[in-house]
Amino acid sequence: MILVTGGAGFIGANFVLEWLEHNDEPVLNLDKLTYAGNLHNLDSLQGDARHIFVRGDIGDRALLERLLAEHQPRAVINFAAESHVDRSIHGPEDFIQTNVVGTFRLLEAVRHYWSALPATQKEAFRFLHVSTDEVYGTLTPDEPAFAETHRVEPNSPYSASKAASDHLVRAWHHTYGLPVLTTNCSNNYGPLHFPEKLIPLVIVNALAGKPLPIYGDGRQIRDWLYVRDHCRAIARVLQAGRLGEVYNIGGWNEKANIDIVKTVCALLDELRPRSDGKSYAEQITFVQDRPGHDRRYAIDARKIERELGWKPAETFDTGIRKTVQWYLEHPEWVANVQSGAYRDWVAKQYGAVQ
């Protein structure tokens, strides 16, 4: 069995679904079910004995120790995190509590569990920590992409909290010998993405006839990674990654935000045209940039390809088409996540254009 934390969120849920599509090994799924944790993401696993869900917090040391003792997982994969830059600007304390304190308590519970394992199980055990390229800071247009050796220079409360958690994971390996692996991924996109992030927000707002809010000039550049490609990369790192190493996972797709939005609009024009015959691009609205907005992220993913043979299966063109089609085919999922709390958040963040 493996223990997955944060397995009802966007990336975590996709990982659980991907894992159980290709493995019979059971998953113990621990998720706090905050605003972005949605059990409906896992509806297809109802009645599947391979999936055991527990609602709980990685900061709850007693719960962690009980689950580890009871289920004896061979690996822990930590997706649990507060993960939205804008939210971290408005309320950084939750990010410190979950991403720093929570990771610390998870590491300590896992360390005590691992220390008591029989020698063969102890040697085979792995702790895989899922992180982000945002810990590296920002790049100028002509700088080389982030490699694993790039200096850590976080610029937002979110990225600072993730950098802190990465440092804790590294320290628990070097100090205590805990067999850890860390992955730093670029911007994920795909099915089940909570509609506060750029791509799902654009799809949902476009279909609702609302403005499509673009920060600043829209020329902020990100590397885009289809979520199932990311999940397969994590499984590969878990299987064969070198202990204590960091692996950057990227899609080799650097795109400006405005170009992403225009691509989504063009796909919607094709797949679900507006009744008035106009393009959804007419709904694009530029709003004030967020504080400290990083201009460019880019991932150098050559290490994971060289050492582990992984590279993304999806191009951006194939991945974004699959993503838009999924949202068009799952309006009930979108309606379910658009709770009052979500609407309040969107009104707060993009109030000027709602």
Phi first, then psi: give them for residue 23, nearest 5 degrees: -140, 145
* Rounded Cα distance, 276 and 60, in Å: 53
Catalytic residue among 136, 158, 280, 350: 158
* Active-site residue, 158 included: yes
Sheet with 246-249, strands from edge to edge, namely: 51-55, 27-31, 2-5, 75-78, 126-132, 180-185, 246-249
DSSP 44: G
Q: How far is CA 212 from CA 95, 206, 253, 346, in A?
A: 27, 7, 22, 12
Catalytic residue among 31, 57, 82, 133: 133
* Rounded Cα distance, 328 and 203, in Å: 9
CB 156, CB 292: distance < 8 Å: yes
Structure-token pair, residue 247: 């692996």
* Rounded Cα distance, 82 and 99, in Å: 7
Residue with token string 């590969």: 236
Q: How far is CA 12 from CA 5, 110, 122, 193, 342, in A?
A: 8, 19, 25, 11, 20
**Which run of H or of E encompasses 168?**
helix 157-176
Catalytic residue among 31, 86, 134, 294: 134
* Rounded Cα distance, 341 and 265, in Å: 27
Report the SS3 class of residue 291: coil
Beta bridge pairs of residue 188: 225
* Active-site residue, 223 included: no
Beta bridge pairs of residue 76: 3, 127
* Active-site residue, 245 included: no
Residues with catalytic roles = 133-134, 158
